[in-house]
């Protein structure tokens, strides 16, 4: 059975005080309650009270996803303004301190904090998750195995967290290094079958490592409750159009890998250790570094690899109706990622509050 390749997009936003430009908890107000009243299950709390998450409906094309995501961003920007807050899309806040942020009062988050302690409390980060509909579980494992290779490239396009607690980190995605303190993160191993994956999960549950597969926090996973492959490697981009471009690329990658399998031409598998070398380079340098072409055993500029990547998925994009969205990747290559643009703004102003203002402007770019 051919997968549906539907799309679901989840974004995590910062709620920021417009005067101090610091993070401010929104749960103490009725913002989340109002959001749920207006948007129902498309909005929810996250572990820290200054994080608010939205999720699109199940979308059949990237065009449908655009309408839904734009509506969600507009609605959340309006809700934030009603509560004297700014909505900001950035994977870390430039100078906020996690120690002053409150945890959302929910038994699920209380258990995570009890289990992971300081690692959980310090996890003040904001990501983008993209779901692609793959109904057959064996196909989901097969696509996950092959798509692991592309995760560093996808991360490089999304990088948007160069600052942490007022410090210029030197990394384009510091969020990735904050999150990998959690257990069961980063690039997963490959699995020979879905039953092998299930046996792995059942062993962890049996030995009290976790209570369900939602506590598998890998960069890509078969979702435990939805028939999707979920890509979790990305920083949240500043602009909605960047999110859509990356989501379209992820969808097209899944479709192309499935097509190769139908032709008996599956993508070559590489070890987790090798792919992690490329992930580090994406975290450190974003689009400006070299990644390793493992087939040629040589370094290649990341921007060149992204152009090759776009060519690789080209034959499926018209059927998916995603050519326009994927073309925006060339804009990212030209103008830089959110991390690049944050750093430029800081170089211009020397002021992290000005960086926050810029991020807030970019969060609503093209929406109104």
Q: Which band of pLDDT confidence, cut at 50, 70 and 90, is reported for residue 218? A: very high
Task: List Cβ neighbours of 300 (8 Å cut-off, separation of 6 or more).
Answer: 290, 291, 292, 293
pLDDT in tens, 144-187: 999 999 999 999 999 999 999 999 999 999 999 999 988 899 99
Bridging pattern class, strands 163-164 and 127-133? unpaired
pLDDT at residue 98 above 80? Answer: no
Q: Which band of pLDDT confidence, cut at 50, 70 and 90, is reported for residue 37? A: low
pLDDT in tens, 323-348: 999 999 999 999 999 999 999 999 99
pLDDT value for 51: 81
Give all strands (DSSP E) within the chain, no chain letters: 7-16, 43-45, 51-55, 86-88, 127-133, 163-164, 167-168, 220-222, 228-235, 290-293, 298-301
CA 153 to chain centroid, in Å, comes to: 13
CB 231 within 8 A of CB 130: yes
pTM above the 0.75 mark? yes
CA distance 119 to 182: 7
CA 176 to chain centroid, in Å, comes to: 10
CA distance 118 to 129: 24
pLDDT in tens, 246-273: 999 999 999 999 999 999 998 889 999 9
pLDDT value for 28: 45
Share of the chain above pLDDT 90, in %: 77
pLDDT value for 43: 79
Sorted by where each starts, the structural domains of the chain and their CATH numbers stand as 7-190+217-363 (3.30.590.20)
CA distance 71 to 367: 8
């Amino acid at each position: 059975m051919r997968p549906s390749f539907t799309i679901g997009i989840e974004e995590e936003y910062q709620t920021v005080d417009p005067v101090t430009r610091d993070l401010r908890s929104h749960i103490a107000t009725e913002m989340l309650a109002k959001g749920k009243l207006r948007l129902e299950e498309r909005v929810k709390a996250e572990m820290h009270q200054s994080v608010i998450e939205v999720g699109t409906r199940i979308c059949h094309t990237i065009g449908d996803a655009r309408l839904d995501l734009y509506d969600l961003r507009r609605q959340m920007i309006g809700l934030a303004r009603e509560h004297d807050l700014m909505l900001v899309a950035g994977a870390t806040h430039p100078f906020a301190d996690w120690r002053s942020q409150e945890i959302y009062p929910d038994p699920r988050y209380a258990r995570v904090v009890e289990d992971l302690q300081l690692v959980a409390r310090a996890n003040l980060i904001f990501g983008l998750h993209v779901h692609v509909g793959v109904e057959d579980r064996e196909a989901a494992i097969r696509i996950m195995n092959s798509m692991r290779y592309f995760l560093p490239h996808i991360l490089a396009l999304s990088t948007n967290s160069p600052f942490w607690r007022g410090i210029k980190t030197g990394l384009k995605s510091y969020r990735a290094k904050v999150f990998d303190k959690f257990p069961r993160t980063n690039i997963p191993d490959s699995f020979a079958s879905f039953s092998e994956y299930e046996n792995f999960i059942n062993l962890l549950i049996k030995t009290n490592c976790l209570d369900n597969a939602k506590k598998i926090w890998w960069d890509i996973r078969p979702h435990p409750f939805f028939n999707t492959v979920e890509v979790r490697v990305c920083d949240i981009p500043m602009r909605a159009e960047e999110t859509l471009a990356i989501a379209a690329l992820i969808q097209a990658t899944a479709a192309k890998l499935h097509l190769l399998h139908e032709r008996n031409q599956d993508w070559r598998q590489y070890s987790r250790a090798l792919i992690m070398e490329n992930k580090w380079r994406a975290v450190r340098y974003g689009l400006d570094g070299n990644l390793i072409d493992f087939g040629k055993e040589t370094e290649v500029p990341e921007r060149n690899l992204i152009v090759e990547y776009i060519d690789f998925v080209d034959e499926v994009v018209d059927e998916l109706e995603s050519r326009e969205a994927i073309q925006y990747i060339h804009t990212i290559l030209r103008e830089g990622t959110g991390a690049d643009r944050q750093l430029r703004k800081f170089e211009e102003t020397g002021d992290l509050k000005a960086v926050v203002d810029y991020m807030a402007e970019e969060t609503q770019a093209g929406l109104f």
